[in-house]
Amino acid sequence: MLEGILLGLSSAFSVTNLLMVVGGCLIGTFIGMLPGLGPMSIIAIMIPVAITLGDPSAALILLAGVYYGAIFGGSTSSILINAPGVASTVATSFDGYPLTRQGKAGKALTVAAIASFSGGTIGAVLLMVFAPMLASVALLFHSAEYFALMVVGLSAIAAFAGTGQVAKAMLMTLLGLVMATVGEGALFNQPRFTMGILDLQSGFGFITLAMAMFALPEAIFLILDPARSKTGTSGEIKDLRITREEAKSIAPVIGRQSVQGFLIGVLPGAGATIASFLGYAVERNIASKEEQEQFGKGSVKGLAAPEAANNAACTGSFVPLLTLGIPGSGTTAILLGALIALNVTPGPRLMVDAPEIFWAVIISMYIGNVVLLILNLPLIPYIAKVLTVPRTYLIPFILFFTLMGAYIGQNNSTELLILVGFGICATVLRFADYPLAPLLIGFILGRMLEDNFARSMQLYDGIGFILERPMTLGLLLLAVVLVVLPAYRARRARLRAEGVADGD
Amino acid sequence: MALDRWIALIILIICAAYGYTAFFTMDGGLPPFMQRNPIWPSTFPKVIAALAIIASVIILFRLEKGTGEEKAPEINYRRLTDYKLGQALFLLGLMVAYALLLRPAGFLLSTSVFLLAGFYTLGERKYHVMIPVALIATVGIWYLVQEVLGIFLSPWPSFMLGGA
């Protein structure tokens, strides 16, 4: 391993490669901040640039830098304007945006930067040590387990909802799944539920839906209630420091979530989105009662957990890509395409045939994380200047960016009408206190969930796979427990409130 | 009946229609070779339709009891007219107009008009600031998207392109 590290160091510390890291992180951060442009679209856009470089290590380093930058930039817009451009930063907005509204945007960005840095660095260490081992673990998972794992992920979202909200969160998740079935599925070449509308043939666009669920209702709320945009910050980000107690409270969270996020990231199909939501749910459940109250209202723990987890998971998603040649997520799938265009075939032989590429990428992950940290901490006050823009200017621009995001993705103006329509629906749902994040997660996972379900059904010729594979059964039982537990706990709490004695 | 139960009712109707399609009308056109498959395009939708109907019934009939304490809503929808409803509706209408006009009127014209109308609606009257801001932003974003990102955005109204 040592000669590998040395090889990587010599390759990564060349002037061009260092420039690639810095440039990639910068481009990623700034474009990632714009709502609607997630890592996937940015990397796709950067591929022609990377390919013209000609050197596979430099290209992969550039794209990896863009990837981290975009994830960090996405967190920034989640925190500052509640417009997550990327699914994996949706969980960041749960506690990041309330902090901004309390005038603690600087602190929120600092916590996010530190958590991202730690998550990414710990992830890179784990990648280096465990890449070969973890690859064999991922091989044990079949489509049946992936199906079950996604069901667990979706049920865990019910845990966000809190007491009395489980059914609403469930309904929203299911509605997301329903929306994911619209259009042509991968397994069946048959359009479904399109109601004869040609534009629905390819299904709803993820970016359109994300805009409609988050950015647009937020903008409408800002219009309806002018007092909302008075966040208490005049854009002056003074409070960058975090206190010793806060640092102490988030350190274990970051440690746990970096490891957990990395492990989830390794599993193909799981990735940063599930890692961030699961990380949030886990930290929320193991936090003390008083701290649990804070979640969703601006808890630093609730912010650090998804940030550490999603960065660690990004690193983790490189494991199946580099060791098996299987992309675990949309982003790594695009990276795979770029590598093949550069005449490199990732897979088990990569470490043997082209060790300099493998190690250069790993070393560049460390450099990328350091660059992001030193780049972003001093830049935070400037980034947060977004807040000083008066609302008369800010709101039309937010509306315009939601429109642009939806349009660029599909190049289709019907998409814009769908955006406005869903935006209005989402606003009404928010009036009635329905959680919107589960809908989007259900939508993102819906297609993968169905594909894996279909594959296991075909392999086992029916529903029998649930009983034949103990791991699947175990995961599905866990999912049931996750859904039932909050209802049971609420019932006990109510009984206790009514003065009925209970067991413990 | 509170708004959340009305919404549950609407979703219930949507899911019932969705379930009806999945259970009764979808499989009709299924080619014979696919009928031997253990999974049909309608299998997964049937499962989620059933679950969604259960969940919406739970909300509709308030089967899940909350802790009883009402959270103060961010926006009280019962008093919607107290808020800037007109502005919100106008801006939404503006977005629809933008969607319809983007192709025929071209990116530069429709975007700058959209931004200016947006600023004006929200009460901005400093013309010497808002006009340059709108124009610079429009041209800047167009340049970024078209030249840097390489995504085609038709800049001019369609009649100026000679029918192209």
Same domain, B104 and B155: yes
Chain A residue closest in CA terms to B142: A404
Report chain A residues whose CB lies below 8 A from the CB of B67: 163-164, 490, 493-494, 497
- How many percent of chain B have pLDDT more than 90? 16
A349-388 confidence digits (pLDDT tens): 676 677 777 787 788 788 888 888 887 777 767 766 665 6
Cα–Cα distances in angstroms (integers) from residue A186 to residues A177, A207, A209, A335, A460, in the given order: 15, 19, 20, 21, 19
Closest residue in B to A414 (Cα) is B99
pLDDT confidence of residue B164: 44
pLDDT at residue A420, rounded to an integer: 92
- Chain B 61-80, CB below 8 Å of chain A: which residues? 63-68, 71, 73-75, 77, 80
How far is the C-alpha of A364 from the C-alpha of B68, rounded, in Å?
A: 53
Candidate from A168, A190, A221 with C-beta closest to B75 = A221
Q: Which residues contact A435 (CB under 8 A, 6 or more apart)?
A: A160, A161, A165, A168, A169, A172
Between A188 and A435, where is the model more confident?
A435
Residue A338's pLDDT band, with cuts at 50, 70 and 90, is confident
Model confidence, pTM: 0.70
pLDDT of residue B129: 86
pLDDT recorded at residue A138: 56
For residue A132, what pLDDT band results from cuts at 50, 70 and 90?
A: low
Write out pLDDT tens, residues A320-337. Answer: 777 766 665 667 766 777
A1 pLDDT band, cuts 50/70/90, is low
ipTM value, please give it.
Answer: 0.87
Q: Give the helix ranges, DSSP H, for A317-431.
A: 318-319, 330-341, 350-353, 355-383, 391-410, 414-431
Interface contact A458-B38, CB threshold 8 A = yes
Residues A388-442 have pLDDT tens digits of 677 788 788 878 877 877 777 667 788 889 889 999 999 999 888 887 777 877 7
pLDDT for the residue numbered A237: 57
**Across residues A164-170, what is the average pLDDT?**
80
What are the structure tokens assigned to B6, written together? 């009305």
The residue that leads in pLDDT, B30 or B143, is: B143
A502, part of any domain: no
Contact B64 A166 (CB under 8 A): yes
Say what the pLDDT of residue A232 is.
43
Highest mean predicted confidence (pLDDT) among A218-232, A456-470, B63-77: A456-470
Domain final residue pick, B65, B93, B108 = B65
Cα-trace Rg, chain A: 22
Please answer whether residues B56 and B15 qualify as being in contact, where contact means their C-beta atoms are separated by less than 8 angstroms.
yes
Confidence of residue A155 (pLDDT cuts 50, 70, 90): confident
Q: At what angle do helices A244-266 and A300-316 cross, to 10 degrees?
A: 30
Q: What is the pLDDT of residue B114?
A: 92
Q: Determine, yes or no, domain membership for A154.
A: yes
Residues on chain A touching B94 (C-beta within 8 angstroms)? 399
Chain A touched by B15 (CB under 8 Å) = yes
Burial class (CB in 10 A: 0-12, 13-18, 19+), A135: middle
Structural domain contains residue A266 = yes
Judgement on whether residues B41 and B90 belong to the same structural domain of the protein: no
Contact between A396 and B114 using a beta-carbon 8 Å cutoff: yes
- Confidence check: pLDDT of A283 > 80: yes
Give the pLDDT of residue A424: 92
C-alpha distance from A123 to closest chain B C-alpha (Å): 31
Residues of B within 8 A of A414 (CB-CB) are 99
A90-94, A142-146, B18-22: range with lowest mean pLDDT: A142-146
| B92 in a structural domain | yes
Looking at the 3D structure of chain A, how many domains does it have?
1
Answer yes or no: is B75 within a domain.
no
Instruction: State the pLDDT at residue A382.
Output: 73
Q: Do B67 and A493 touch (CB under 8 A)?
A: yes
In this complex, do B123 and A392 lie within 8 Å of one another by their Cβ atoms? yes
Question: Same domain, yes or no, for B145 and B90?
Answer: yes
Count of CA atoms in the C-beta half-sphere (13 A) of A86 = 41
Q: How confident is the model at residue A80 (pLDDT cuts 50, 70, 90)?
A: confident
Which range among A324-328, A355-359, A448-452, B75-79 shows the weakest confidence by mean pLDDT?
A: A324-328
Helix and strand numbers (H, E) in chain A are 23, 2
Say how far apart CA A130 and CA A124 lie, in whole Å: 10
**DSSP, residue by residue, A89-147:** GHHHHHHHHHHHHTT-HHHHHHHHHHHHHHHHHHHHHHHHHHHHHHHHHHHH--HHHHH
Q: Higher confidence at residue B70 or residue A382?
A: A382
> What pLDDT, on the 0 to 100 scale, is given for residue A234?
46
Q: Does B87 touch chain A (CB under 8 A)?
A: yes
Q: Which amino acid appears at position A390 of this protein?
A: P
**A64 in any annotated domain:** yes
- Position A473 pLDDT exceeds 80: yes
pLDDT tens string A203-237: 787 667 877 877 788 788 878 877 665 544 445 55
Structure tokens at B71: 């959270």
**Alpha carbon distance, N-terminus to C-terminus of chain A:** 53
Least confident of A2-16, A64-78, A460-474, B19-33: A2-16
Determine the pLDDT at residue A341: 73
Q: Look at residue A75 in the predicted model and tell me its pLDDT.
A: 82
Residues B55 and B109 in one domain: no
Asked, for residue A210, whether it belongs to a domain, the answer is yes
Q: Which of A33-42, A66-75, A241-250, A463-472 has the lowest mean pLDDT?
A: A33-42
Distance CA(A180)–CA(B47), nearest Å, equals 14
Instruction: State the Cα–Cα distance between residues A126 and A266, nearest whole angstrom.
Output: 11
**How many Å lie between the alpha carbon of A136 and the closest alpha carbon of chain B?**
30
- What's the mean per-residue pLDDT of chain B? 81
Shortest Cα–Cα distance, A447 to chain B (Å):
10
- Taking 50 as the threshold, does the pLDDT of residue B101 lie above it? yes
Is B44 in contact with A494 (Cβ distance < 8 A)?
no
Q: Which domain holds residue B147?
A: 85-161
Structure tokens that stand for A322 in this block:
């580099």
Name the average pLDDT for chain A: 77
The Cα A159–Cα A155 span in angstroms is: 7
Q: Between these two residues, B80 and A373, which has the higher pLDDT value? A: A373
B40 and B103 together in one domain: no
Q: How high is the pLDDT of residue B13?
A: 93
Measured in angstroms, the CA of B25 and the nearest CA of chain A are apart by 11
Under an 8 A CB cutoff, do B73 and A433 touch?
A: yes
Q: What is the pLDDT of residue A88?
A: 75
Identify whether B154 is part of a domain: yes
Task: Say if residue A271 is exposed, middle or buried (CB neighbours under 10 Å; 0-12, 13-18, 19+).
Answer: buried
Q: Is residue B154 over pLDDT 70?
A: yes
User: Are B41 and A190 within 8 A, CB to CB?
Assistant: yes
Using DSSP, how many helices (H) and how many strands (E) does chain B show?
6, 0
Is residue A199 one of the residues assigned to a domain? yes
What is the number of structural domains in chain B?
A: 2
* SS3 sequence of A416-467: HHHHHHHHHHHHHHHHCCCCCHHHHHHHHHHHHHHHHHHHHHHHCCCCCHHH
Cα–Cα distance between A314 and A327 in angstroms, integer? Answer: 12
Residue A504 covered by a domain: no
B84: contact with A, CB 8 A cutoff: yes
Domain boundary among B65, B96, B112: B65
**B26 contacts on A by Cβ (under 8 Å):** 192
Best CA proximity match to A147, nearest among A268, A300, A12, A13: A268
| Helix (H) / strand (E) containing A76 | helix A56-81
Q: How far is A436 from A175, CA to CA, in rounded Å?
A: 10
Q: What is the rounded average pLDDT of the residues A17-35?
A: 79
B52, B73, B83: residue with CB nearest A175: B52
C-alpha dihedral sign at A44, A318, A207, A300: negative
As a whole number, mean pLDDT of residues A472-489 equals 82
The pLDDT of residue A130 is above 80 = no
Q: Nearest Cα to A143, choosing from B109, B18, B39?
A: B39
The residue to which tokens 């901490």 are assigned: A377
Q: Is residue B31 part of a domain?
A: yes
Which range is most confident: A129-133, A239-243, A308-312?
A308-312
pLDDT band, very low/low/confident/very high, at A504 (cuts 50, 70, 90): very low
Q: Is residue A229 part of a domain?
A: yes
Per-residue confidence at A37, pLDDT binned at 50, 70, 90?
low
**Burial readout B75-100 (b: 16 or more C-beta within 10 A, e: otherwise):** bebeeeeebbeebbebbbebbeebbe
Looking at residue A62, what is its pLDDT?
86
Q: Which residue of B has its CA nearest to A174?
A: B52
pLDDT of residue A348: 61
From the centroid of its chain, how far is CA A252? 21
- Segments forming the whole domain that contains residue A83: 2-497
- Give the three-state DSSP class for A192: strand
